[in-house]
Structure 1
Amino acid sequence: MIRTGSAHYEGLGKAGKGRVSTQSGVLSDARYDFNTRFENEAGTNPEELVAAAHASCFTMALSFALAKAGHEDGTLDTKAAVTLDKDGDGFAVTKSALTLTARIPGIAQSEFDRIAAEAKAGCPISKLLKAEITLEATLES
């Protein structure tokens, strides 16, 4: 299974303006640029997209793990806070902090903690944040 996202950027540096889209159409030419990333203007940015992906992936992984363990009902609310820090001349995403609030009837704290930790480690986006990244680049004239 392959899912895609795309980005288009016109102009360079702070003067550039970008649009980002997803295969599903949930995002379609959503604005992103220097001001949406560093100045909190309306639009999106890569870090909030990673945060949304991590929160949703972890929450779904946990939901399936809890169901597999025999739990039939509950609610899960997760927030991911992705940290972008200065790194020499550039920036680096240094952390994704998941904050979970769950209501699972009849689960013991120790079982919940174990299943949540396993879901965090096993979620594909958690794995992505440690994955090999490849690049195929073409310069057109």
Structure 2
Amino acid sequence: MIDIGLTHIALSVSDIEQSIAFYSTYASMQVVHRRLDAETGVSVVWLCDRTRPFVVVLIEIASVHPILSPLAHLGVGCKSREDMERLCQIARHEGRLLSEPKDSGYPIGYWAFLRDPDGHTLELSYGQEIGLKLES
């Protein structure tokens, strides 16, 4: 089977293990591929939440300039408002919460921005209904 459509986004990271831990905690992603690139010698990891054929590719380099910040972001839908609030509490405690959760009503829902270890922005949300919109 050949992949078509949007399959991945690649992010440069300075510490691949810290980034794996962040996306595992806040986006329920796990490593599905790991390698040391033969040409460049850099570590490369593919992360997936196994809900669709899409990965976040992490490429470890010495100096990172965040490309997903502040409004450019990855968005993750949470299974409940309570789960999102739990994750925001962890992020608050870790100093990763960029914006407090806010309810913006339909179609945006309840959302908050977090900062990953390299300054890229991750949005947690509940109630955006993107999947439902695509089904209708």
Compute the TM-score of the two structures, normalised by the length of structure 1: 0.28
Larger RCO (alpha carbons 8 Å, 6+ apart): 2
Larger-Rg structure = 1
- Structure number with higher helix proportion: 1
Scaled by the length of structure 2, what TM-score is found?
0.28
